[in-house]
Structure 1
């Protein structure tokens, strides 16, 4: 969630409320269910909130997001804008209505992985930046060199995860290769 440039600054409690409301709308936080998906809200950039969720529950089962998750998140975002007195997004005359057909699951997963791994605006880049910043600040404290070194190693591991996510997204985004049946190949290679 990003605030518009003309929106007011939000208090820490308002950001926390927004995170919980979006997590509930996405179905990753279910009130009263302690064995649900684990998630965090990261605010590494001003006026922006990213939610990161582990889609494997503590009991080992996979979280299945609701089929209408996009609509539910959009509806909750509009309610948050109204409740917190934020400006709704401006529509442009060239904007088109959303497509009626859902993209393939692999394309959706590739898009999610690409967003996670984005080096400039992705939540993992924000987390990695916070770890690196903390490592550099910790390095100046007496006796904390080991901690700073451990944090830098952790930041490198997060970067490696980002690279792995980029590779996985590229693999998911590639269209399947059409294989010609053997009979069709043989008949195409015969001369008349």
Structure 2
């Protein structure tokens, strides 16, 4: 199960459209017995089992908390309060039932801090199940009481750890199992052609997957750089080179996030960090 943390957004409609793979509509109905596999606790106050909301209505209800508490986003007025986390199953995994997908949605909502157990004023959130082997968690970070939710600082790490526990509990395959390494394109669902999928959607899916792998690699490099900079071996030159590689990886992550979110991308020449000069060992310098 591969998690992807999407960039915070200001529009619940845009986030839901990305989760569905198509624009929201006043004509398309989504129900809690189908596409919406899990949701915030107070949803029952707004509707009942017989009510069908359109995808546009779901988006409006998800965004209502920010409209009711417009100054709760940040002191600087940043209105990017829509959290979007998606998880993909291993392509060789079995298909989960509606109840199992619902459990995944509730567990992700708890670990991200948007739905603490027993908290009646938690965030509005929904778990959307409409793309093959994928679940999307969408949440408004403004709680019902007007306070911004306390999301873990390393939320992607927290979600990844929960994914490992879900794989164990539900008997699912980890990303690199069955001889398919995590960087092999054959294990990505987006590698399979989908006739009605737009080019932008394909690009977004590939960008999300690549961004996740880049982020994991960058964190490993950053950890190695920290160890080298503080270890007794005292290898500051190598640590500096690793830090440079990590910075370059971060730039690539930013570029891919722009592609995945549909923003225009124009690389600026010469804007990236310059490569560190090669550092000769003492024995080489003495020659």
TM-score normalised to structure 1 length: 0.51
Task: Report the Cα distance in structure 1 between the residues aligned to 2:115 and 2:134, rounded to whole angstroms.
Answer: 20
2:172 is aligned with 1:82: no
Task: Report the Cα distance in structure 1 between the residues aligned to 2:183 and 2:116, rounded to whole angstroms.
Answer: 38
Equivalence for 2:102: 16
Judging changes above 3 Å, is the alpha-carbon distance between structure 1 residues 83 and 41 closer, same or farther for their aligned structure 2 residues? Answer: same
**Pairing 1:132-143 to 2, within 5 Å after superposition:** none
Instruction: Tell me the SS of whatever aligns to 2:167.
Output: helix
Task: Report the Cα distance in structure 1 between the residues aligned to 2:182 and 2:128, rounded to whole angstroms.
Answer: 30
2:129 is aligned with 1:43: yes
2:113 is aligned with 1:33: no
Task: Report the Cα distance in structure 2 between the residues aligned to 1:98 and 1:23, rounded to whole angstroms.
Answer: 26
Judging changes above 3 Å, is the alpha-carbon distance between structure 1 residues 83 and 98 closer, same or farther for their aligned structure 2 residues? Answer: farther
Q: Deviations over 1:78-113 (max 9, x none)?
A: 000011111001145897744238999xx98x94x8
TM-score normalised to structure 2 length: 0.36
Task: Report the Cα distance in structure 1 between the residues aligned to 2:92 and 2:151, rounded to whole angstroms.
Answer: 33
Q: Deviations over 1:45-97 (max 9, x none)?
A: 12110000001111211123111312211110000001111100114589774
Residue 114 of structure 1 and its aligned partner are, at CA, apart by 6.7
Which structure's residues are more often helix, by fraction?
1
Task: Report the Cα distance in structure 1 between the residues aligned to 2:93 and 2:156, rounded to whole angstroms.
Answer: 23
Judging changes above 3 Å, is the alpha-carbon distance between structure 1 residues 98 and 80 closer, same or farther for their aligned structure 2 residues? Answer: farther
2:146 is aligned with 1:53: no
Structure 2 contact 121–144 (Cα < 8 Å) conserved: yes
Instruction: Tell me the SS of whatever aligns to 2:121.
Output: coil
After superposition, the CA RMSD in angstroms is: 3.4
2:91 is aligned with 1:5: yes
Task: Report the Cα distance in structure 1 between the residues aligned to 2:108 and 2:183, rounded to whole angstroms.
Answer: 28
Q: Which has the higher contact order (CA 8 A, sep 6+)?
A: 2
**Pairing 1:153-168 to 2, within 5 Å after superposition:** 166=263
Residue 36 of structure 1 and its aligned partner are, at CA, apart by 1.0
Instruction: Tell me the SS of whatever aligns to 2:168.
Output: helix
Q: Deviations over 1:96-146 (max 9, x none)?
A: 744238999xx98x94x875x45xxxxxxxxxxxxxxxxxxxxxxxxxxxx
Which structure's residues are more often strand, by fraction?
2
Match of 1:69 among 155, 158, 161: 155
